[in-house]
Amino acid sequence: MPAPQVNEHPARAISGWAMLAVSVVVTLGGLALLWWGIVRAADRTGGGIALITVGALVTTAGAVLACGLTPVAPGEARVVQLLGRYTGTIRTDGLRWVNPFTRRHRVSTRIRNHETDKLKVNDADGNPIEIAAVVVWQEERKAAMVSNLLVVLCSDHAPQPVVNAGSLYH
């Protein structure tokens, strides 16, 4: 069965600074309820157990809200997945907030380049040639790509087709 096609689309994300403030207020409010419940339970004035329970739940809700905060640095993006399914990509840098139950994977979007020195080689007829290369890439397998490119450029034979026999990471 062929792999499904996935098209990139923006993830649902809002300003992280607003949600940071909300999560801090909710967490502090929950801690205040928790403290108030402990005081009432110690004084035996009633309602202490209920306040402790509500305070613990509100504090937990504030912590869960804070788990959705995601920093995105310039030159990177975050791929968002919910239960293993792609839900979008965050490309806006800064502090962003997404569903706290998602996984966020960091992806570099920096464009890098590598410039080689001039090399003196001879072509098939024996004529001297000076060659150099500027390689621009945006993926993580840069070393293998630069190496393969230089082998092709400096070889005394025509390039041959390459069969991909796997990944660098297996």
User: Mind listing the pLDDT tens digit for each residue in 131-158?
Assistant: 887 777 667 565 666 666 666 666 666 6
pLDDT (tens digit per residue) in 60-104? 999 999 999 999 998 899 999 999 888 999 998 899 999 999 999
**Residue % of the chain over a pLDDT of 70:** 79
CA distance 92 to 13: 9
pLDDT for position 56: 93
* Biggest CA-to-CA distance, the chain: 101
Place of tokens 């992280």: 16
Q: What is the DSSP code (8-state) at residue 100?
A: T
